[in-house]
Amino acid sequence: MIYLAPLQGFTDYVYRASYAEVFNTVDAYFIPYISLKNNEIPNKYIREILPENNAQSRVIPQILAKDAAEFELLENVLTDHGYSEFNLNLGCPYPMVTNRGKGSGLLPFPDEIYKILDHFFSQSKGTLSVKLRAGLKSADELKDVVKVLNQFPLKEVILHARVADQLYSGEIDENAFSYAIENLKHKLVYNGDIFSKQDFLDKQNKFHGVDTWMLGRGILMNPLLPHEIKGIELSGKERADLLFSFQQTMLKRYLEIMDNEGNALNKMRQFWSYFAYCFPNPKKAFKHIKKLKALNKYNPTVKSIFNELNG
């Protein structure tokens, strides 16, 4: 199985719905985290969780909370919107978040994680999975966290085996992932640095028994990667047609929901910062999109970028 990772600012509901409409090759969609600001949920998070914006068959919202009280508040809002499966974020690496004791900021405090899970499993009817890093500062933190996670009936655990200090670069700690395979009693999902079919095969060879893979940037850079991993063969023309239709679907949906074309164009620029990697010269492709001043030049520019793919 392949899961689409939550990527704040990228895999928003427009992306998820367009992806499902055009490709439909991932088995679950994770909504980027929702969290409280001044004890309230910002509107931008509510839009992301509305049922009408999440029609795919399995969509899992993610909660970023510092303690059981915050978690419960967010869980209640999600329950009111019809969700019964939740994911706890123990991975966000940014100091703005970790300094407030959220995301991977909780990893050095397994007792706090215990309290959140204990509270959830004593009062909730829903199911819960956890997405975590190997540690905040050191992968040694993983050992005590695994002990806590093993005490609860989690649905699954998704591990991005980097420490938070690495952010998104540097080596994945494969020993930490192997440690989790050996010591976690839950289903374990692999996440991190799968950018090609070969990357996937390498990880599959190393980590026997893992059958679910969460992909983030690899899908943003090549939305057809799940096709490749699942062995769905496509001609060059079919690939180009699907990719073309994907960005058109995104644009159409952004235009429907944005109050002006400039905002829709900004969202498409952001989308292309990764999507440009579908083309032989990503820097050049992205440069063309970046310098667009108005939406009326978008389609001709995109057509010329796609021409390079075809010819």
Ligand X SMILES: Cc1cc2nc3c(=O)[nH]c(=O)nc-3n(C[C@H](O)[C@H](O)[C@H](O)COP(=O)(O)O)c2cc1C
- Give the contact letters, 197-216, x = binds to ligand X (CB under 6 A), - = no: ------------------xx
The only residue of 3, 10, 179, 272 in contact with ligand X, by rule CB under 6 A: 10
Check binding of 8 to ligand X (CB under 6 A): yes
Which distant-in-sequence residues (6+ apart) come within 8 Å of 287 by Cβ? none
- Does position 217 interact with ligand X (CB under 6 A)? The reply is yes
Interface region with ligand X, contact rule CB under 6 A, candidates 107-115, 118-126, 188-196, 268-276: 188-196
Closest-by-Cβ residue to ligand X is 216
Q: How far is CA 260 from CA 18, 253, 256, in A?
A: 20, 12, 9
CB 87 within 8 A of CB 117: no
Contacts of 129 (CB under 8 A, 6+ apart): 60, 85, 86, 87, 88, 154, 155, 156, 157, 158
Q: Which is nearer to ligand X, 246 or 274 (CB)?
A: 274
Identify residues 56-75 at the interface with ligand X (CB under 6 A): 62
Is residue 32 involved in binding ligand X (CB under 6 A)? yes
Nearer to ligand X, 15 or 306 (CB): 15
Task: Identify the H or E element spanning 45.
Answer: helix 43-49
CA distance 49 to 59: 9
The span of 52-60, 88-96, 198-206, 243-251 binding ligand X (CB under 6 A) equals 88-96
Chain residues in the site for ligand X (CB under 6 A)? 5-10, 32-33, 62, 89, 91-92, 131, 160, 168, 191-194, 215-218
